[in-house]
Structure 1
């Protein structure tokens, strides 16, 4: 199993507003090998908040197909401004993708 983490720096106060965008039902759920998405928010930084969007995949082929798909492009498309309206400033400050294989894990102990 693999976890693909997108570490996204956003302006203070925007993480909670943006997090649900990554966990909406949609095309991602039907991609072969997809397991789940979790969004964690870290508020420990003075100048920004950081979201960790963790996508769990059975294999990397499924993730690669998702990244190359029209569904991915549509999901990451910026909303267009209305006529006569100035483009909205993005709350995104930067991001980094980290791909890691899960090689060891443990679950909660069962209670008798």
Structure 2
């Protein structure tokens, strides 16, 4: 498993409130999904290369939300770069998406 991208941001609300909001509709673990409420982690993955993972951590201003994207390809681990056009602009899209998620989590207070 190779870490490709990591983006993070602070949710300005108490950690336990953010955890409750994040896991409110998370469902349960399954064949392509991990939901670990105790550890504050939600992950999902496909059959080929992708694993996305969200985790919550304590932060002096509230809760730190970290999103990581991993390449989990067992063979041809170079192919996701070609399939995703060398990931051009991917980090910016991840950061924008994270900002939107943080705004939603903060608005629920």
Question: Scaled by the length of structure 2, what TM-score is found?
Answer: 0.40
Greater Rg by CA: 1
Per residue, is there more helix in 1 or in 2? 2
